[in-house]
Structures are given as C-alpha cells and as structure tokens.
Chain A
C-alpha cells in the first residue's frame, strides 16, 4: 500500500518534471523563432526595398558625332573634352525623336527626361572608342531618376497630374519611346563604380566603400599590434598587483564608453593638437582603433588564458624562457581566438558612424580617396546621408547601401570563421 503510494507520488513528480522540461524547451524554441522571424522581416524588407536600386532604365539613341566636335587625338586632352557640350548633344538627339514638338517648354521637358549624367555617358563612350568620331552610333543613356521610378511602377500614373512629378505630357513622351522599343532596363553598375552624387541616378558607393577599406586598414594597423602586445603583457608578463588590476578594470570600462566620446577625443587630440588632416581615413581609422582596442585586448587575453597550462609547463620543462614559451607555443595556439576577436572588433568599427561625425567623415565625397590622407567618407555615413535626401529614388539606394554594408560585414565575419577553422589546433 505504502509502496504503491510512493510509486504514484513518484510518477506524479516525474510527470511534473517532464512537463517543466517540455515547457522550458518550448520557451527556448519560441525565443529562437521570434529572433529569426524579426531578422527575416528586417532582411526581407530591406532586400525588397533595395531591389529597384540595382537596376536602371536607359534609352538608346542614335547620336551623330561630327568631326567638328572633337578630333580623335584630342580625346585624352581634358580641357578640350570639357569644352564639348556633351549634354547639349544628347538632349538634342532625344529632341530629334520628337520633331512635332517645337515649343520651348516641350523641348525642355524632353531634355529633362535624361539624367544629368547622360552627357557624361556619351563623353565616356567617345573617350573609350575614339574611332566612332565622324559617324552615327547607338548610345545607351541613363534616364532621370523620376522617369526610372515611373518605369519601375514606383510612381502611380493614376494620380492627378498636380500630385505627380511626371506631367501628362512627359508621360506621352515616355510612352512613345517605350513603344519604339528604345528603353531597356539594365544593371545599375554605377552603384558600385561611381562616387556620391546629388542625382540619385548617378550616385554610387565607390568612394564610401574605398573610404571604409582605407579606414579599416588604418584601424587594423593601429589596433592589432597595440592590442595584442598590451594583452600579452597584461596576461603573461605583468605582475599581478593593484596597478595591473586597475588597468584591467579600465580596459573593460573602455569597452563600454559611448563611441561619440572617442570621436570627440579624436577631434581634440588628433586634429586640433596634432593637426592631422580632417575628414581623412587616417584620423578615422585611429579613432576607430581606439574604440576597437578594448575588444581586441579582452579577446586576446581570453584566448591566451584558454591555452592549457600543460603546454606552458611542457615548454618551460625543456628549458624555454618565458618569452619563448609565449611566442613559440602560447601565441600560435591563441591565434585563432585573437583573429576572431580582431575581426569582430573591426566589423563593429566598420559599422560605426558616431565617432566619425566629429572628425568630418560624414561628408559629401564624390572622388574616390586614393590614400589615407585624402578626404573620404565611409559606408554607414553614406547610407545616413542618402537616407536624408528628399528624392524618392534615394529610398531604394539607402536600402541597397545597407545591403552592401551587410554583405561587407558578412564577408568579414566569414573570414573570421575561415581563419579560426584554418589555424585551430586541437590538443
């Protein structure tokens, strides 16, 4: 009787335990699912928003390039090339498609269908193929951002004319060109090959991407050696006393300092005191290096501490000096962890904007920076500036910029995983 009672009590208890465990598993699963769901919505939304930015509409026109405009041997002469009215030429060619339009307004409306960069497209074509001078060639010219949006169905034709950026008359021109099969959709390579622009259909990420790369290079060169050496000293060499404890606490605190503070520091010290150039990847990289240092130091110390003491003992036992133990055995074994920490720190820095605000890297930069003292901006700053532009075409461009930044960070993280797997040794 009592045995049975204990048994039922036991089985009751067991059931309760199973239920509790199931419940716990369910909560865990629910947490993962909601996190994944949020991420999917975010990524999906961004991708969908960015898709229009990766293509652009071009109109193909037959343009006559008379020898009177420029000589074939002059194409490399910048001044001579600049004198030619390329913009006028492309606008005139488009107007020639509509001989019935004679009024000034109509003519101007036709010209405005083209992008402000359409003339440059013709100029580049002549520059690359000087042999076409003196003949008539078909050239694909970018349309303006509003026309592009209309053709992507992002501007509603059914709206009343006064609420629409494209007038009824412009609509008829566009329809005419489409009917003549002059318009086609192409991949918008300029998104990657050109710098920033006020015109949405000419703005690209190139200058910002190169700026980010140069900034990251500076960050890596400053933070990696400094961080790793500091960590080795603190973890392996320094005596454990109050001073080193204090340093350790401060390094950990440094990791939690708001990034804008580092920007202020960079402005006050690097620019105002050392007179380093403003808006340059050199200063940006140094500021971000300061920000990355605690991450690298903490990761390196953890990696060093994770090397089993038996390896140190083995090396000491055969007569290696403490420094030889570090450089021959401990450091190589800690390398995967150090690299992972460094790349994660760099990826964090690559997504940072606040400190760069203070040192002038949030700037409109058209030219691609060639070296670390050139004026430059970075990808997240570029995204922020695009997001602030009023033109509708910049909405998609902003999303596209975010996607590019995320791909950039994803590649960096993939590199971290690859390096870790490659150099990881089991013991």
Chain B
C-alpha cells in the first residue's frame, strides 16, 4: 500500500481567516482507494482542511490558503487551474443533506448536464441510474424519479447527495460529517455504502463519531487546534496511539 503514490499530498497547508491562523501547516498523504477519517474536537480545523482539497474555501471572504496541495500531479492551488474542473474531480457531500429543490432525476443529472458529459437523454438516463445504484438508492426511487427530492427521508436525501456527487465521475469524495443529521439506521446504511465506494474512489471523511471512524476508515488523522497531531493506520490510532493528546481524545478524556 505504502508503495503506491499518494492520491492527495498536502504539504504545509496553512489557512488564515482575517489573518488568524486556522491551520498551521498540515502535512498529510492520502492514498488511492482508502478511506481517511479526520477526527478531532470542534473547531480543530478538520473541516477547513477538507474544504481546502476542492477549494471550497475560495468562496469565503478573507480566507487565505498557502502551502502545497497536490492531487495526483496537479497542484490544486496553481492559479492556472480551473476550479470548476477540479470540483468535478473532487466530489463533496455535506453535513446536512442538501438536495436541490428539484426532482430526484434532476438532482443527479445536474452535474453531468453542466459538465456536458452526455450527448443525449439515453446517456443521461444511464448515468442517473448508475449513480443512484452506486449510492444504493435506485431500488427505493426507481419508480418515482420525477418526485421532489425534498420528499425523501433524511437518509435517502443524503444518499441522493452522494449519487449527485458521484454522477460526474470524480476520483475523490469528500464527506463532511455526512451522518451527523441522520438516525443510526440511516447512518449504518451510509457507512456500508462508504465501504463499497472505496473500491472506486478515494474518500476523505470528517466525523465526530470515533466509532464511525473506526468502522469505515483505513487511515485516521487526529486534528487539534489546527495541527495534525497524529496520522496513521486506523487500527494503530485507536489501539496504541503514539501521542498523549490523541489517547486522551479517543479515550474520551478531552474533546
């Protein structure tokens, strides 16, 4: 595993909001087809780091990112890079399910449509079907693709958001606490899904639940006050953490 080249290579990523540092130089290597979980107390910078990967921080005023972040051979912060193209390669799923107030079909078809991925309606139908199947939602919605997406349950909505993200065929999926608004049953469905999606995508997931991190991820990074305290195999982090702070957090003494 370690022999392959990292999919995402972050070296010295610093994020400043209004001159205040939120991240103090993050160095992380995330390898293809693995799930990397980022854990840590609120405000530690794990979501901020996640948003650096697809440059979602760009839309926030007064947010300055420096350092180097490579996806394969592409420098994400190269001024020449097209952010729109980047975001097509790096899909994102958010904390709260946020389907568009459109039909289920249109939600999934939106990405392929704006990127011009299809020639005709049949192609589009195929992409929508494939994406919904991969997101494990097809069997539940195949009969009502034209229904409003907002009529779905929270868990279904979140899977629809995953289908929407993977419809544009990205390499990487970023998930920002995707289960925090869901009940345990919906959560377990999404966790299973993450396990399946790993075969095709590199997944970075921010989570508040350490059990979730232990269940779904191969690598885990512990963030604290804008620093990565420890990053390594999930098993190692949870069974024999090298750092005292990490141990204190995962054993529930702080955080």
Contacts and interface: CB of A to CB of B under 8 A. Distances in A.
A333 B101 contact: yes
Which of B86, B100, B165 has the most chain A CB atoms closer than 10 A to its own CB? Answer: B100
Given A318-B165, A319-B85, A426 B56 contact: no
Contact of B94 (A314, A319, A321, A427): A314
8 contacts: A310-B96, A313-B92, A314-B100, A318-B91, A318-B164, A318-B165, A318-B168, A333-B101
A322 B59 CA distance: 9
Given A333-B101, A425-B101, A426-B101, A317 B91 contact: yes
B91 to A, nearest CB: 7
Given A318-B91, A319-B84, 20 more contacts: A310-B96, A311-B98, A311-B101, A314-B94, A314-B100, A316-B56, A316-B59, A316-B87, A317-B87, A317-B93, A318-B167, A318-B168, A319-B87, A319-B168, A320-B110, A320-B114, A322-B59, A328-B110, A328-B114, A333-B101
B182 to A, nearest CB: 15
B48 to A, nearest CB: 14
A319 B114 contact: yes
A314 B114 CA distance: 14
A92 interface: no
B161 interface: yes
A320 to B, nearest CB: 6
B101 A317 contact: no
Interface string B53-65: 0101001010000
Contacts, number: 66
A310 B98 contact: yes
Interface residues of B, number: 28
B84 A314 contact: no
B84 A313 contact: no
Contact of B100 (A311, A321, A324): A311
Interface string B74-95: 0000000000111110011110
A123 interface: no
A64 to B, nearest CB: 72
Nearest to B167: A318
A329 interface: yes
Given A319-B114, A320-B84, A310 B94 contact: yes
B226 interface: no
B111 interface: yes
Which of A312, A313, A329, A427 has the most chain B CB atoms closer than 10 A to its own CB? Answer: A313
A360 to B, nearest CB: 48
A234 interface: no
Interface in B217-245: none
B28 interface: no
B124 to A, nearest CB: 15
A66 B169 CA distance: 90
B239 to A, nearest CB: 35
Given A240-B61, A319-B111, A314 B87 contact: no
B210 interface: no
B178 interface: no
Nearest to B88: A319
A308 to B, nearest CB: 8
A314 B161 contact: yes
B200 interface: no
Contacts of A166: none
B14 to A, nearest CB: 23
Which of A311, A316, A426 has the most chain B CB atoms closer than 10 A to its own CB? Answer: A316
Nearest to B86: A319
A315 interface: yes
B66 to A, nearest CB: 20
A315 B94 contact: no
A325 to B, nearest CB: 9
A236 to B, nearest CB: 11
Interface in A300-353: 308, 310-322, 324, 328-329, 333
Contact of B54 (A317, A324, A329, A333): A317
A312 B94 CA distance: 12
A427 B87 CA distance: 24
B150 interface: yes
A426 B150 contact: yes
Interface in B94-115: 94, 96, 98-101, 110-111, 114-115
Contacts of A320: 84, 110, 114
Contacts of A329: 100
B165 to A, nearest CB: 7
